[in-house]
Amino acid sequence: MSKQSKKGRAEFSSSFGVIAAAAGSAVGLGNIWKFPYITGVYGGAAFLFVYLGFILAIGLPVMLSEFIIGRKSHRNAFGAFKKLAPKSLWQYIGILGVGAAFMILAFYGVVAGWSVDYVVTALSNGFADQSPDQLAVMFTSFIESPVQPVLYQLLFMVLTGAIVMLGIKDGIERNVKVMMPVLVVIIIILNIRAVTLPGAGEGLRFLFHPDFSKLTGEGVLSALGHAFFSLSLGMGTLITYGSYIDKKNNLLNTAVKVTIADTLIAILAGVAIFPAVFAFGIEPSSGPGLVFITLPNVFQQMPGGYIFAILFFLLLTVAALTSSISILEVVVAYFHEELKLKRKIATIFATALVALLGVICSLSMGIFKDYTFYDLNFFDLLDWISANLLLPLGGLFISLFIGWKFGRKKIRAEIENGGSISELMLSGFIFLVKFIAPIAIAIVFLSGIGLLKI
């Protein structure tokens, strides 16, 4: 029987469903593609420790804030603020979020498409006998080509749209409940393989033995930016998912579990990758090409590499899919509730628009490469605007909203609906969202746009 709230609005049907959906949103390309390479670039463990600090002090409180806004209002990212703070400027936070969702999903779908292509290449044993240089050329010529990456991006977007079209319970919840356990199993298998390679210890030391001299100001800023991206914060994804959480759910508990799951999977991705990279004597700081160029090189030298390559790119694809549906849902819920489109029509419309923007992103790697803005191609531009402008601004306003506008009583009521919180914890949470998060985010924002030099 379908469980619906009084107004007939959809809800997740179980607390495992809630956690699988929210953790599915959080765990994505950010954890498996981006986290390992930025950790590599900024010197390993020192970066990891700063990142963990931001996750706890800023990420977790902002996540709880988004859940509170969503569940209290039972609305999409825009409608939530319209309902909680009628006729105020706060509702524009929601518009910012929907705009960010468009941009992020456009380039996210492109990278997800690459990973689908790499599943196919791995299946056909396409990495075998290629030199490191050949693998690099293989990747760059693939992403620059005008047809293949576009087709894979479209395929991925159709998959994303199809799941969202089926609805919250029958589409999103049902699929993440299967995909998240699969993801965990795959990453554990990859971890066992990586740490049992001869010479794995050096990779583990790189990941867990901090050398703070390698950590730059820029590294600290990326750590905060990435904490936001990785936890899916700042654009209303978790407001939207929060709006489907039932009144009995313990929101603090859910936020803690989702944060732990996301962080653990990022670390496990590091443990799957660095020991293997070091074991074969490859440089860890190889940037965005780490998983698409360096890893295929690792796999073709590794015993059992054929299978592990397939598993790895499957992992990347599944992780991307459980995130992309959460981003698309932000747009669909907005179109459906605010523009009053039927949910199916809203999904088709949103998917088509995002896919189109994604095609331009993909082509900007190759044939549209020369159309740049401040030296950024379209792909990098969307990435830059969303990561450096829209997400921090969204996160800033969300924490200010809960810290300054929402009210202590209502915060307590929402947290204690299904849970409990001591006076001290409540004060601590409010202090973090009132002061610490906004100040930290403002610093990252100002330096991101070049107004502050660190």
Tokens representing residue 129 in the block: 């006998």
- Letters for 374-393 (x = contact with ligand TRP by CB under 6 A, - = none) are -----------------x--
Does 65 sit near ligand TRP (CB under 6 A)? no
Window of 213-221, 228-236, 344-352, 376-384 that interacts with ligand TRP by CB under 6 A: 228-236
Does 19 sit near ligand TRP (CB under 6 A)? no
Binding-site member from 13, 31, 388, 399 for ligand TRP (CB under 6 A): 31
φ/ψ region of 44 (left if φ > 0, alpha if ψ in -120 to 50, else beta) reads left
Scan for tokens 């549906």, then name that residue: 325
Q: Can you list the positions of beta strands (E) in 79-226?
A: none
Window of 24-32, 72-80, 143-151, 242-250 that interacts with ligand TRP by CB under 6 A: 24-32
CA-wise closest residue to 327 among 98, 9, 93? 98
For 127, the 3-state DSSP assignment is coil
Does 362 sit near ligand TRP (CB under 6 A)? no
Q: Which is nearer to ligand TRP, 28 or 305 (CB)?
A: 28
What residues contact 418, with CB distance under 8 A and at least 6 apart? 247, 248, 249, 250, 251
DSSP for residue 32: I
Window of 128-136, 138-146, 233-241, 429-437 that interacts with ligand TRP by CB under 6 A: 233-241
Does 102 sit near ligand TRP (CB under 6 A)? no
Binding-site member from 98, 224, 235, 261 for ligand TRP (CB under 6 A): 235
Burial 376-386 (b: 16+ CB within 10 A, else e): ebbbbbbbbbb
Does 76 sit near ligand TRP (CB under 6 A)? no
What is d(CA 44, CA 37) in angstroms, rounded to the nearest whole number? Answer: 9
Number of helices and strands in the chain (H, E): 22, 0
Does 229 sit near ligand TRP (CB under 6 A)? yes
Cα-based distances in Å from 277 to 53, 73, 183, 282, 334: 26, 47, 21, 5, 43
Smallest distance from ligand TRP to CB 291, Å: 13
Window of 231-239, 247-255, 282-290, 332-340 that interacts with ligand TRP by CB under 6 A: 231-239
Does 160 sit near ligand TRP (CB under 6 A)? no
What residues contact 174, with CB distance under 8 A and at least 6 apart? 166
Q: Which residue type, as a one-letter code, is found at position 211?
A: D
Does 399 sit near ligand TRP (CB under 6 A)? no
Smallest distance from ligand TRP to CB 233, Å: 6
Smallest distance from ligand TRP to CB 125, Å: 28
Smallest distance from ligand TRP to CB 187, Å: 14
Does 104 sit near ligand TRP (CB under 6 A)? yes
Do residues 174 and 14 lie in contact, with contact meaning Cβ atoms separated by under 8 Å?
A: no
Beta bridge partners of 10: 4
What is the binding site for ligand TRP (CB under 6 A)?
Answer: 25-26, 28-31, 104, 229-230, 232, 234-235, 237, 323, 326-327, 391
